[in-house]
Structure 1
Amino acid sequence: MLTLTVAAQSQREEVSLPSIFPLNHEWVSILPFPPTQAPATDGAYLYIPLRGDLLAAVFVADGIMQWLVDQPADFPPTVGGQLLFVADDRRVHALWSTFGIELWQLTFSAPISSPLLWESGLLIVGLANGEVLAYDTQTQRPVWKQQLSAGVLLPTIDDGRLFVPQADGHISSLDLATGSLLWERELGGAPTRIRAYHDRLYVGSTDNFLYAIDRRDGRIRWRWRTGADIIGAPVVTSEAILFVSLDNQLRALAGRTGVQLWKQRLPTRPVGGLIQFGEILMLPGRTPPVHLFYLDNGELAGQILVDADLTLPVIRVEVDQAPELEDDQATDIEADQATDENTNDLSEQISANVELAFPPTVVRANDVDDVAFVLVTAAG
């Protein structure tokens, strides 16, 4: 696991990134077990589900693990105030994020089918049977419940609305405060992650279309056919909608009309959708490098080579009592920091395990010259 920062001024020359910005490695941390879900962050800590039904908290500033608890997770955790919410089959566990101590839990009639959402003390839970439920996280009492047509997929909260994609191709708009159904629209395939922007929703679907939907009444304003499934939520600006698809294309469409403005062939297969930093787009692939593109024309702007600088401390987590794992899951856990004797071994280990487990986790993004993000490899 590597943390990298972008800065306007740099005193080190860690990675050569042509014509964009200097990039610095801050720390390298080797987790005790491989990750199973993408990390969540509150800016101070990373919360990472690990193999063996474990959950770890890692300090963003230095990569040192703060706590490790037994906690299965079916989705990335969700941060809400001082709490950390974890979905495990039919249960939601609420943990005190500072120490990983469970404070309370909720049990449901069907498996949880989507990542949890938290907004201003309201926890949103989507189930495989189509139920959407809202709970007050201070009292743990239900606020509302709405029955939809199919299993819930990747809901989005925006400006008092909850937009809920479902496995049967429907998108439902709910009032966040009451759960009232405002409208429902059926697409030609299962919707992917929704991006809300002003009066429109932009969403891809497994029927290989990108849809622009009126957020007020659910009318389809336009749709654009792609050559394959769309990956991740689109990036939306005042000028264009930008998205990637599994036909290895980066496209820009006009927001109001859906007319294609340009497209660029991608140098790698996308796995997690676009990430925007100012006028730059980041595209993660399964393996490094991570590619960067200019927002206005899609031309390649540079790349990030994941090659750890081992002049920095390499933090290796020590676990006193590791959980019992199968033989093929066993992980050797030794020192807590690299020494002169083991630096070469660590260098070979990191170089051999640079397959990325998930898209980058952004922990700070104030501007294109003030960004920090974490890369987690498949080996941890």
Structure 2
Amino acid sequence: MSKLKSLGLLLLVGLLSGCGLWSSEEEIEPAELEPITAEYQLKKLWSAQVGSGLGEKYHQLQPALLSSRIFAVDYQGTVVAVERDSGKLVWKRELELPISGGVGIGNGRVLVSAYDGQLIALSALDGTEAWRTRLNSEATAPAQVASGLALVQTIDGQVSAFDSQSGELRWSYAAPEPLLTLRGDSAPLLTANRAYVGFSSGKLAALDLATGELIWESLVTLPEGRSELERIVDIDGSLLLDQGLIYAGSYQGRISAISESEGRRLWSSPLSTFRSLTQNGLNLFAVDAEGSVVAFSKRNGDELWKQEALYFRQVSSPTVLDGLVAVGDYEGYIHLLDPIDGHFAGRYRADSSALLSPPLSRDNVLYTLSDDGTLSALQLQKN
């Protein structure tokens, strides 16, 4: 990793740890949790151990759901498949490689990427290795699979498409990268015939899925400021697509709604985020760089509410759980927020270690992976 990329990692870790980058005098204390009146609670259905956990390099190795199974990986290369209903281990594979990105799933494949630039595909059925290939650089976001292709973006701004069955390279697309970026990338968003990719330059590109040719390019955020630090505008969170609009957020930038067909920006609102977005009906939900959870109107981008009580608690990307907004934090708490006004509707400590990996939601069950490697299934219940 270059010195510039390392500085980007330092910036990211400094922001999330609540510690000043340059001196102890700049330390910021995370908010203390205030008592709430819980309207909902979470019941732990099961938990399972995934290897040695996520390590100390700020991994966000989100699990992946496919049918009746959930797949997860630890930072040392232990890949597991467990039953969603019971947590029972189906198979385990030891890759014995330090992992930087995962888990991608689709077309019968489970994909993870290693720090040395390898992309490894396993059989979703039994974990046997299907193929592995060398990437141009390190990938931190999970590969995405559609139409027989596995797409992965690396930290040097290159998007590569591989045959999901054989691993053969089909095409690649390279975008110019700024001098200084955060250490991370967004995962490509795939449709039947297009790939939408967010870059560290603050640009969103639409690529032809079959050929990799550029269809259009749109600016989510224009870099501003005199220093390279001030001009960081990475799109690191996952993109959202709904009813012909793509929603994207950037660090030190904006959240924008962009036309899927032609790349025209319909609206944008100020927001600094490196997390993924989620949606529920007419609203978007985001977590900003300071840990506040923010709701926006999907129609015009108006800010609807902002919950600031989780300030600098290293809040995870949000997900929607039976209409509620759910986020994890650095002390292992899951916070449930009302989607109408953002008040806390519930809280549950799922683990004693951090819950930085984005939680997953399916059928009123929340799946979390803690930093120590505990994979848990939590069922929502109303008080």
Determine if the TM-score, normalized by the shorter chain, exceeds 0.5. yes
Tell me the distance in 1 between the aligned counterparts of 2:47 and 2:281. Answer: 38
Tell me the distance in 2 between the aligned counterparts of 1:164 and 1:133. Answer: 11
Q: Is the 8 A contact 1:56 1:68 kept in 2?
A: yes
Output one character per residue of 1:321-345: Cα deviation in whole Å (capped at 9) or x when no partner: xxxxxxxxxxxxxxxxxxxxxxxxx
The equivalent position to 1:236 in structure 2, one of 237, 258, 279, is 279
Q: Aligned-pair distance for 1:301?
A: 1.1
Alignment-derived partner of residue 205 in structure 1: 250
1:5-16 to 2 correspondence within 5 Å?
Answer: none
1:29 aligned to 2:48? Answer: yes
1:277 aligned to 2:321? Answer: yes
Name the aligned partner's letter for residue 60 of structure 1.
Answer: R
Q: Is the 8 A contact 1:275 1:282 kept in 2?
A: yes
Alignment-derived partner of residue 100 in structure 2: 74
Output one character per residue of 1:196-234: Cα deviation in whole Å (capped at 9) or x when no partner: 2223222111223222222222233222224xx324233
Q: Is the 8 A contact 1:361 1:375 kept in 2?
A: no
SS at match of 1:266: coil
Alignment-derived partner of residue 19 in structure 1: 39
Name the aligned partner's letter for residue 205 of structure 1.
Answer: S
1:26-65 to 2 correspondence within 5 Å?
Answer: 26-36=45-55, 37-65=61-89
1:147 aligned to 2:171? Answer: no
Distance 1:299 1:204, change over 3 A: same
Tell me the distance in 1 between the aligned counterparts of 2:128 and 2:334. Answer: 36
1:99 aligned to 2:126? Answer: yes
SS at match of 1:77: strand
1:331-350 to 2 correspondence within 5 Å?
Answer: none
The equivalent position to 1:254 in structure 2, one of 279, 288, 297, is 297
Q: Aligned-pair distance for 1:255?
A: 2.3
Tell me the distance in 2 between the aligned counterparts of 1:25 and 1:38. Answer: 19
Tell me the distance in 2 between the aligned counterparts of 1:43 and 1:129. Answer: 33
Distance 1:208 1:106, change over 3 A: same
1:167 aligned to 2:200? Answer: yes
Q: Aligned-pair distance for 1:238?
A: 4.5
Q: Is the 8 A contact 1:153 1:167 kept in 2?
A: no
Tell me the distance in 1 between the aligned counterparts of 2:149 and 2:73. Answer: 23
1:360 aligned to 2:380? Answer: no
Q: Aligned-pair distance for 1:372?
A: 4.4
Distance 1:192 1:113, change over 3 A: closer
1:135 aligned to 2:189? Answer: no
Output one character per residue of 1:156-211: Cα deviation in whole Å (capped at 9) or x when no partner: 22453211111222221112233221111232221232222223222111223222
Alignment-derived partner of residue 122 in structure 1: 149
Distance 1:17 1:134, change over 3 A: farther
Identity of aligned residues (%): 22
SS at match of 1:76: strand
Q: Is the 8 A contact 1:112 1:128 kept in 2?
A: yes
Runs of 4+ displaced beyond 4 Å: none
Residue range with higher mean Cα deviation, 280-289 or 149-158: 149-158
Name the aligned partner's letter for residue 356 of structure 1.
Answer: L
Q: Aligned-pair distance for 1:59?
A: 3.7
1:224 aligned to 2:269? Answer: yes
Q: Aligned-pair distance for 1:272?
A: 1.9
Distance 1:111 1:371, change over 3 A: closer
The equivalent position to 2:372 in structure 1, one of 363, 374, 378, is 378
Q: Aligned-pair distance for 1:117?
A: 0.8
For these two proteins, the number of residue pairs brought into alignment is: 312
Tell me the distance in 1 between the aligned counterparts of 2:164 and 2:266. Answer: 37
Gaps of 5+ in 1: 1-15, 308-352
Larger Rg: 1
Tell me the distance in 2 between the aligned counterparts of 1:60 and 1:239. Answer: 29
Alignment-derived partner of residue 12 in structure 2: none
Q: Is the 8 A contact 1:211 1:224 kept in 2?
A: yes
Tell me the distance in 2 between the aligned counterparts of 1:110 and 1:51. Answer: 17
Tell me the distance in 2 between the aligned counterparts of 1:267 and 1:123. Answer: 36
Tell me the distance in 2 between the aligned counterparts of 1:237 and 1:77. Answer: 24
Name the aligned partner's letter for residue 218 of structure 1.
Answer: G
Q: Is the 8 A contact 1:80 1:118 kept in 2?
A: yes
Name the aligned partner's letter for residue 233 of structure 1.
Answer: S
Distance 1:216 1:24, change over 3 A: same
Name the aligned partner's letter for residue 184 of structure 1.
Answer: E
Tell me the distance in 2 between the aligned counterparts of 1:195 and 1:270. Answer: 22
SS at match of 1:230: coil
State the Cα RMSD in Å. Answer: 2.9
Q: Is the 8 A contact 1:149 1:168 kept in 2?
A: yes
